[in-house]
Structures are given as C-alpha cells and as structure tokens.
Structure 1
C-alpha cells in the first residue's frame, strides 16, 4: 500500500508560476498564452540537439499541467501555502515521536482536508497515492507539432493559393496500432508497476519520487513479444499529403499555423499543429513593400523634362495611365491606389511606381544637334555651383 511518501515533495518547492513567467494571480488565459509561447520556443522538434531547451520544454509542460488546470491549481496553491508556513519542514508521515516529525494526514484533517488525508487531497494532482495503489488510466496527450517549408509564386502570395504538402511525421505504429506488442498476441499487466503505470523510488531524506514505469513506459500493459516493426515503442513514421490554404497577402518568411494538421495524438489526445514557413519567389517586374507593390518605370529625358502620360502594368490587371508632370526628377515615386497586395480586411494596398530617367548611350546626328541647341539656349546657373561654396575655408 502506498503512503504519503509517494508525494512529489520537490514540487512543493517549485514555483510553477515563475516557470511560466506569470504572477500567482494570473488569469487562465494569461497562463495559457505564456505556456504556448514558451512551448513553441523550446519544442524539441524545433530545437534538435538543444538539451537546455528540451529541459525547459519539459519543465514548462510540467508547470502548465498543474496551474493550467483549475482544480489542480487550487490544490497546488493550498500545498504551497502549507509549505510556506513551514508545515512540510518537519518531514512527512512520521508520528510525533523522537524524530520530531508529524503526520501530515493528521495536519490536513485538522485544516479541514478530506477524510482520506493527503492521499485524497493531492492524489489526482501528483499521480495517485493514498489508501491503495490502483491502476490509473494513461492520460491522453496532444500530438507533436510539425514544421515544414513551402515555396510559392509571387502572384500566389498576393492572391492566395491552395497547395499540396507531403508530410512525414511521428504516428502510432501502423502494425500494432500503437500498443508496442506483436500483432496477434495478448497483453498482460506490467509486473514492474503492477499496472499502475508508475513506480516509486526513494530519493533520500525520507522522500520518495513517483516516476514513469521504465518497463511499460506508463502504458500499464506489456507484451511478451514486441512488435517487429516498431520494436515495442508503439510509434512509427507516417507519410501523408494534405491540402493547405495559404491566405492572400502572405509575406516572405511568414509562419502559417494549421490547427490539428500535425502528428496524431496519443491515447485519444488531439493532433498537433502544422506550422508552414512560406517562401515567396521573386517577380521579374514587381517588388513588395508591406502591403504595397513596387515597380521601377523607365522614362526618357524629354518625358521627364516636358511631361507625359505613360502606361504602366499592374499585377494581374489592366495597365493604368500615370501622368508625369514636366520637370519630374529621376527617382520620383507615383502612387496608384488599390493596385497593391491584398490586406487582411480584404482591401488592397497601393502600387508605388518610381521613375528612372534613361540617358541614351548614343545619339544620331539630329538628336545631337537638338541637344547642343538645348545646351546653347539654356540660361540656368551651374548645377554644381553649390559644391564650391565655402570650399576655401
């Protein structure tokens, strides 16, 4: 029969709120938001080989498993209150003998705890202990998140597109359906944990720690013959194709989340999520600046000097006419409203057309004569006069 020694005493000393970076009075929504941010940043699939982040992911998951559940959070706060008041420091489970200990069950009864003492009060919070060792069902777990990258065309990024993705991810073994046993064989209760799914190991100092059973991996059942496909792990690799909708206006490098499209859950848990990092191919004419499209438009010297009406292309639409005023300098940008990328609200950004004044490499005789006449007729001051102002000082 298990005793209060099965209690995870080290958890009483852990600050799960600090682990998640929230205050003790944080709302459930704040706790969930903090957990998702930390779990995403430290997920093993996104940080292969980074032991520190793997450990951080585990500690964050442990913290959220407790304070993310209203009932568990309430009992955890009660336990922390007892610890903070010195209620745990005399040891657990002992009588009031020479050792100076006390019976924590009696203490909890005195404080109005359940009639079963600490086992009833904290049993479901720390994995089950108390009057007897009973078999607890293995909890469902969410499947792992999956990361992939997709490259799409420039126009598809502006208008949105549905793409096909071929994914390979962790999944239950197809031959044993995740049991880990050889197909056709029958399981029996794990002799190591007696079907509890966990074992209790001494940690010194009068404490005992509850750990997942190393023989059955917490599944509570074992097979005499392991599945030859997964070698008893119950897991395998699954290849599948899915259709993913990339929204209009997606930017290069943007990360799209597709809920429930990741790896399958464990023991009936929900599937993980799929995160698609989008790479957008370049366009031979157009560029992108936020929700606006950009376009370099060449114009001649006479068009810049005398003014002109020019036609320019739009992405996927009819050409538009832009009026270039006389005396337009090189590099001036004209805005064509509503011809840019699609925004989240359904409207479109603008097309930013920047003129580039072109100087001919060669001139025929008539053109040279006209330019020389222009030079002779000009009465403008030197364009470089200001370069020499104050140069002698």
Structure 2
C-alpha cells in the first residue's frame, strides 16, 4: 500500500515551520498512542505513521529530500521506515523526548546545564519615606530577607568543601530513562535533580545547596527629590547565584507617605492657608510653613477665598535635575466662630452700614443674584 503524504498525515502545509509540525505531531501522538489505545491496531498504525512523518519533516536534510523526491528520497531513513521500530539516526526515544520533554521533565538535549553558573534572582523592596526625607534625601537602613551564600561551606554545599562526585543514579547525565511498555520516557534524575553530580558530605547549614535563607541589613542612600514610583538599584544585593554565578540586584521601590500639610505634584508643592476675615478684607501678612522653614506671605486687601499665591523655588528640586519647583498657597478665608454678644453686635452694625452700597462691596454676590433673577424670568416665560 502506498504511503500517504507526510504533510497530509500531520495535517500541516509545506510552508509550516518546525514549531507547527511539532504541535501537530503532539496532538496526534497523544490521540493514537498505544498506551491509550491498547489492542487497537489501527491506532497503532496511525501512531507509527505520524511519528515517521514527524521524524522526516523536522530534519532539514530529510525534509529537503522529501520535498524534492517524495518518499523515494527518504526511504530507509525514517526511524519507522518499513513498519518496524529502530533504524535511522535517533529512534523513538529521542523523538519522544524532543516532543514531550516539556511535559514529563526530560528530553531532547536542549535543557540548560544545571551545573553551569546561574545568576541569582533580582529582589524588590518597598521603602516608605516621609515627604521631608524624599525631598531632602537621606540614608536609611533596611533589612532584606534573601538567599545568601552559605558561610559554613563557602557556597560549595559540602561540609568538608570536597568536590561533588558523579551521581550514581544517572551516571552524570542528569537524566534517567523510564521504560513504559515499548517506549521510554526521559526524566530529570530524582537523585541529583538534573545536576549530574552529588555532594558526598552535605553541609548541615544549607543541606548541600550552597545557599540559605537569611536577612541582610543594607544602608541605602536616598538622593534628594525622589518621588513615589522611583526605583533605586543596588547592584549585586539580590539573591546569591548558583554554582558560583553572580548575585542578582536589589530594586528599592520608593513610596512617599501622605503629608499633614503639603501635597506634591511633581516638583511643585501645594498647601491651604487659613486667613482671617479681617486680614482678607484689609490685607496683612500670614506666616506660611515650607520644607526649608517659615516665610511670610503677604495677603493683599480684598483677597477672596480660593485665591492661589505662588512662592517661587519653595518646592522640590527634581532628582533627575532641572529647576526647583514652587509652593502654591491656596487661601481659605475663615468665618469667625464662638463670637461674643458684643462681636455679633458689631458685625450687625457693619452689615447695616453696607446695605445701601452692597453692590459696591460684594460685586460677585450682586452678579449672582442678577443671574438667579434672570434664570427664573426665563423659566416662567
């Protein structure tokens, strides 16, 4: 019986890459695998057919020969050619490991060497600062839980600092092969966890890992002008590396606490300044706090509530450079409270003195009443 086209067998096109071919084969292999279909000859034949197609189409030289000459160009080269197992270069175990290695933890010869030096993980630490600390800069001490190199064995994992020996379970390969029926599964060695070597006399402090959980105390210099969301990188202060690899980095994430007086917007600061009724009407001076001390704010006569005053260069100098920001002071005119009878009487006299000239003294109020009057007249019409 003539063989089916390999592309047709896997349900792929000639333009598909190896990734698409691998995906298609995985789907068919899971569906027709003999372990899932015991005593089913048809499923077994489809499994063999798909595996043969996969072996050819994932080998660049075989695929080129097949595309040019068809089955005649690859006869006797496929691992399942002639309907039997074996033959070819690789065999079923290699194919299975390549396709299913990510599922079963083995396979394919594409894994990273577990004995190679590996960089430690980066760490992140949230640092809460007062506004004054963020604006002026400071130095703080932080405690960071992390994996550090074991000081008992100097990171070797061995109590006597002897060199690791070849794993007796996997023979130094880091992989073991498990037989399941007529096919085998390649898995990470459970004894050495893929390293291929074992520590003969493990360190009691780190249990042979060469690293252990600890807490580091670090001094962090905070530059002036930082703000919430800024990061400070401390090179080499992350987790210790593996197998002599370099340590990771520590990223200190800044978060500025809410302030009782000031609000920050970039390089500018904002605050509300309560002003007495008399100072707002007649003018005066108001003492205003800044992050550098107290200053006098001149209040012009007839100042209205909500008026914004700018104190230049009393804000924040940005951490990345540039001109210093300003302090924006918003006036809030306070209504007198807890008045005595005499004070109330004086206010009534003051009010009476303004009745005939209220438009002159309260133009905004007069304009408002005119708008209200016009609104109701328009509403009636």
Paired with 2:173 and 2:307, the residues of 1 have a C-alpha distance of 75
1:249 matched to 2:237: no
Runs of 5+ in structure 2 lacking a partner?
Answer: 1-16, 22-56, 68-73, 91-107, 360-364
Find the counterpart in structure 1 of residue 297 from structure 2: 322
Give the conservation status (yes or no) of the 8 Å contact 2:315–2:324: yes
Find the counterpart in structure 2 of residue 27 from structure 1: none
**Which of 371, 375, 380 is the matching residue for 1:390?**
375
Q: 1:180 to 1:299 in 2, by over 3 A?
A: same
Q: 1:372 to 1:203 in 2, by over 3 A?
A: farther
Kindly provide the CA deviation profile for residues 226-266 of structure 1, in whole angstroms up to 9, marking residues without a partner as x. 33333344431122211112232222454443332111111
Which structure: greater helix fraction? Answer: 2
Kindly provide the CA deviation profile for residues 280-312 of structure 1, in whole angstroms up to 9, marking residues without a partner as x. 334333222222111211111122223334342
Number of paired residues? Answer: 293
Query: Shift of residue 198 of structure 1?
Result: 4.0
Paired with 2:66 and 2:120, the residues of 1 have a C-alpha distance of 37
1:174 matched to 2:151: yes
1:347 matched to 2:332: no
Query: Shift of residue 148 of structure 1?
Result: 2.4
Paired with 1:126 and 1:242, the residues of 2 have a C-alpha distance of 39
SS at match of 2:278: helix
Kindly provide the CA deviation profile for residues 88-112 of structure 1, in whole angstroms up to 9, marking residues without a partner as x. 999997469425999579xxxxxxx
Query: Shift of residue 349 of structure 1?
Result: 1.4
Query: Shift of residue 375 of structure 1?
Result: 1.6
**Which of 354, 363, 380 is the matching residue for 2:358?**
380
Which deviates more from structure 2 when the two are superposed, residues 217-226 or residues 299-308?
217-226
Find the counterpart in structure 1 of residue 245 from structure 2: 269
Paired with 2:346 and 2:130, the residues of 1 have a C-alpha distance of 46
Find the counterpart in structure 2 of residue 13 from structure 1: 19
Find the counterpart in structure 2 of residue 301 from structure 1: 277
Give the conservation status (yes or no) of the 8 Å contact 1:82–1:88: no
Give the conservation status (yes or no) of the 8 Å contact 1:259–1:274: yes
Kindly provide the CA deviation profile for residues 118-152 of structure 1, in whole angstroms up to 9, marking residues without a partner as x. xxxxxx98259xxxxxxx78221111222323232
Indicate the structure whose relative CO is greater, using CA pairs within 8 Å and at least 6 residues apart.
1
Kindly provide the CA deviation profile for residues 206-245 of structure 1, in whole angstroms up to 9, marking residues without a partner as x. 8975x54332123332134433333344431122211112
Query: Shift of residue 12 of structure 1?
Result: 4.8
Give the conservation status (yes or no) of the 8 Å contact 2:157–2:202: yes
Find the counterpart in structure 1 of residue 190 from structure 2: 214
SS at match of 2:133: helix
**Which of 151, 159, 167 is the matching residue for 2:128?**
151
Q: 1:93 to 1:238 in 2, by over 3 A?
A: farther
Query: Shift of residue 351 of structure 1?
Result: 0.5
Find the counterpart in structure 2 of residue 190 from structure 1: 167
> Normalization by structure 1: what TM-score?
0.61
Query: Shift of residue 203 of structure 1?
Result: 9.8
1:165 matched to 2:171: no
Give the conservation status (yes or no) of the 8 Å contact 1:93–1:102: yes
Query: Shift of residue 163 of structure 1?
Result: 1.0
Find the counterpart in structure 1 of residue 268 from structure 2: 292
Give the conservation status (yes or no) of the 8 Å contact 1:175–1:229: yes
Paired with 1:93 and 1:173, the residues of 2 have a C-alpha distance of 53
Query: Shift of residue 350 of structure 1?
Result: 1.2
SS at match of 1:157: helix
Q: 1:270 to 1:228 in 2, by over 3 A?
A: closer
Kindly provide the CA deviation profile for residues 334-370 of structure 1, in whole angstroms up to 9, marking residues without a partner as x. 1212111221215321101111101111445664454
Give the conservation status (yes or no) of the 8 Å contact 1:92–1:206: no
Q: 1:216 to 1:96 in 2, by over 3 A?
A: closer
Give the conservation status (yes or no) of the 8 Å contact 1:181–1:222: no
**Which of 142, 145, 149 is the matching residue for 2:119?**
142
Paired with 1:182 and 1:318, the residues of 2 have a C-alpha distance of 63
Paired with 2:182 and 2:18, the residues of 1 have a C-alpha distance of 15
Across the aligned residues of Structure 1 and Structure 2, the Cα RMSD in angstroms comes to 4.2
Query: Shift of residue 189 of structure 1?
Result: 1.0
1:360 matched to 2:336: yes
